[in-house]
Amino acid sequence: MYAIGNDHTGVELKKIIKKFLEEKGEVVKDFGTESTEASNYPEIAEAVANAVAGGECERGVLICGTGVGISIAANKVNGIRAVCCSEPFSAKLSKQHNDSNIICFGARVVGSELAKMIVGEWYDAEFQGGRHQTRIDMIADIEKKQK
């Protein structure tokens, strides 16, 4: 199951990406918002990040105006490797090398076709492990030192 969430800027793009993932056969749990009234992206980020870090959802998608704030907030949850991507190359490599478990982008930055390309490349990519796992373990060690 995939998690998806957005602030008020990403309501329409969220619907498009949710459908895109559903058409790939994924079940998508939608954490909202459905409202274009101003909302606070950290709340959505925390809900989606907890669902992914806790194992309820395999991976997640987060959308705000730029993708920046919502990725910063998601990365505060231990175990989350959220990336903010505006193009598909980084999205693909973020899965292959960094095992990104949440992808973020900006509804004010990317159009719907580019957003689908970003999510599509990320979805299809596989984590390559090996030396990349060593570095991810090092990231986890940073988290442990913060406690």
Active site (annotated) includes residue 85: no
Active site (annotated) includes residue 64: yes
Q: Count interface residues toward ligand RB5 (CB under 6 A).
A: 8
From 64, 84, 85, 104, active-site residue: 64
Query: Of the candidates 53, 68, 117, 136, which one interacts with ligand RB5 according to CB under 6 A?
Result: 68
CB of 71 to ligand RB5, least distance (A): 8
Q: How far apart are CA 26 and CA 36, in angstroms?
A: 26
- Three-state SS at 97: coil
For position 69 contacting ligand RB5 by CB under 6 A, the verdict is yes
Nearer to ligand RB5, 82 or 125 (CB): 82
Contacting ligand RB5 within 24-43 (CB under 6 A): 41
* Segment interacting with ligand RB5, rule: CB under 6 A, options 20-28, 58-66, 86-94, 112-120: 58-66
- Relative to beta strand 102-106, strand 82-84 is parallel
Cβ atoms of 79 and 53 within 8 Å: the answer is: yes
Q: Is 141 exposed, middle or buried (0-12, 13-18, 19+ CB in 10 A)?
A: exposed
Q: Where are the alpha helices (DSSP H) in the chain?
A: 11-22, 41-53, 68-74, 88-96, 112-124, 131-146
Nearer to ligand RB5, 38 or 138 (CB): 38
User: Which residues are at the interface with ligand RB5 (CB under 6 A)?
Assistant: 7, 9, 41, 64-66, 68-69
